[in-house]
Structure formats: C-alpha cells, structure tokens
C-alpha cells in the first residue's frame, strides 16, 4: 500500500531533523543557510504543513543531499 502524503512529509521531516542534529546545527542555523524561515523548517521537521518541493530541495541541498524521485 502506498504511503500517504502525511507519512511521506513526516518521514522527510524526521530525516532532515536527524541530519541537522548530526551536523550539530540548530533549526535557526539550518534555516538561515537554506534561505528559509525557521518556522518553515520547524513545520517540515514536525511533518506538518505542505512544504513545496523547492523548499524541501533547498534544505536537502544545504545538508549535501538531493531529492530523488523513484518509480
């Protein structure tokens, strides 16, 4: 069964949070580096809201990752 949109957003958020902590960055620091608001980053990490693909891609790129779409 495919994951729901909420599950996917929560999984992405948890991964971003883990990577941020691994790099020992605060939410404010990562948000600033990614060029987004710290509120937006908090929402992404909590799995709430509906972040744009572009916003998520910015955060991932800041962490040295990329967004990959798989079939």
Query: May I ask the CATH class of domain 5-62?
Result: mainly alpha
CA distance 41 to 59: 8
Q: What is the pLDDT of residue 67?
A: 79
CA distance 45 to 37: 13
pLDDT block averages, 10 residues each, the chain of length 71: 72 94 97 97 91 92 86 73
Q: What is the pLDDT of residue 68?
A: 79
The model's pTM is: 0.85
In the chain, where are the structural domains located?
5-62
Q: What is the pLDDT of residue 66?
A: 84
């Amino acid at each position: 069964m495919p994951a729901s949109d909420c599950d996917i957003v929560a999984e992405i958020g948890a991964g971003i949070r883990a990577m941020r902590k691994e790099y020992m960055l605060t939410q404010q620091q990562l948000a600033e580096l990614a060029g987004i608001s710290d509120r937006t980053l908090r929402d992404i990490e909590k799995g709430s809201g509906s972040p744009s693909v572009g916003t998520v891609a910015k955060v991932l790129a800041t962490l040295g990752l990329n967004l990959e779409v798989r079939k």
